[in-house]
Amino acid sequence: MRIAHYVLASRALLAPMAGVTDRPFRQLCRRFGAGLAPAEMLSADQRLWSSDKSRRRMDHEGEPEPRVVQLVGSDPAELASAASVNVDLGAQIIDINMGCPAKKVCQREAGSALLADEALVARILTAVVRAVSVPVTLKIRTGTNHSNRNAPRIAAIAQECGIAALSIHGRTRADFFRGDAEYDTIRETRAALDMPLIANGDIDSPQKARAVLDFTGAEGVMLGRAAQGAPWIFRDVNALLSDQFAAPLLRTFKTGIILQHLESLYKFYGEYIGVRMARKHLGWYCRQLSEAIALRPTLMAAEDSASQFAAAKHGFERWAEFEAA
């Protein structure tokens, strides 16, 4: 799969998720074969960049290429300026967020709220593409609501403006994350597009990834919630799409990955925030590894990194021992 001059190693990409796809998680997913791992969305308002949260979102040290920065906003000039600055800081692809359904984003007429104003979409995309020398991509939803699934029109605008690739989540803004994703609109959009298309929404297994690719004709799939607590899903998706067999990972291996992930979170965030961010991921690991769910209360109760790591090490190593028994 290609995005402009970049040839991606796989057709399975990590979806950008605020509060989830930080640098440690992106690096982990890339390690398991995610072809691309965009950063968490960053506000185009540069006045907000002095916060610790924004500085961490702009930290791409040690990340494999191409490095993707996702911007959210509604002002064309502001987005163009933010894109230019981030390219100077090392971004190799700029992604524009027109898919986020969160109320606090849409209240600012940003994210998926922009789908209601096709003229503004065109002005934004034109401004950003003209402002930078790197590829610009776009992430959208199928429309604002079931009565206005305008993804095909937005896609046509994007292609005319010079967007390098388009990702579509198979829900409308009004759906938020409720109900099942639909892929008919993505398929309809694919039929009228020349640029690469990436399908997103409810892709939670290698079999579902292949089915969505076959149905929509998309070049790639984007996985979000399915990767939470299971970053190795990209390995399994890539194997199936290549008609290869991926042997199940041993529990001892998964335990090692979890402990490495914790260490990277503590290093990246520091003690206080690191422990709290780790709780989120540990909860997902326990949910995915269902036999380990009994560990969750102990892991959530830990107040410092030493006790949290020790509890995770003891608990997951015990969990791994049952496999060998």
pTM (predicted TM-score): 0.94
Host H or E run for residue 94: strand 93-98
The mean of the pLDDT values for the chain is 94
The arithmetic mean of pLDDT across residues 83-97, rounded, is 96
Residue with tokens 């409810």: 202
Residue of 29, 100, 161, 286 marked active site: 100
Residue 165 pLDDT: 98
Residue 292 pLDDT: 76
Share of the chain above pLDDT 90, in %: 86
The arithmetic mean of pLDDT across residues 38-57, rounded, is 91
Q: What does 133-163 look like in DSSP terms, one character per residue? A: SS-EEEEEES-SBTTB--HHHHHHHHHHHT-
Which residues is 129 bridged to in the sheet?
none
Residue 270 pLDDT: 96
Domain ranges, ordered by start, for the chain: 2-241, 251-324
Q: 201: closest CA among 170, 225, 231? A: 170
Q: 12: closest CA among 39, 28, 30, 25? A: 30
Token digits for 32?
A: 């398991």
∠ CA 257-8-99, rounded to 5°: 85
At 222, the pLDDT band (50, 70, 90 cuts) reads very high
Buried b (16+ CB within 10 A) or exposed e, 241-260: beeeeeeeeebeebbebbee
pLDDT tens for 56-79 read 888 888 889 999 999 999 999 999
pLDDT tens for 118-147 read 999 999 999 999 999 999 999 999 999 999
The arithmetic mean of pLDDT across residues 87-113, rounded, is 92
At 212, the pLDDT band (50, 70, 90 cuts) reads very high
CATH superfamily, domain 2-241, is Aldolase class I (3.20.20.70)
100 part of the active site: yes
Handedness of CA 293, 294, 300, 306 (dihedral sign): negative
Residue 315 pLDDT: 92
Share of the chain above pLDDT 70, in %: 99
pLDDT tens for 141-198 read 999 999 999 999 999 999 999 999 999 999 999 999 999 999 999 999 999 899 999 9
Host H or E run for residue 109: none
pLDDT tens for 252-263 read 999 999 999 999
Is a pLDDT exceeding 80 seen at residue 325?
A: no
At 324, the pLDDT band (50, 70, 90 cuts) reads low
Please indicate whether residue 92 or residue 319 has the higher confidence score (pLDDT). 92
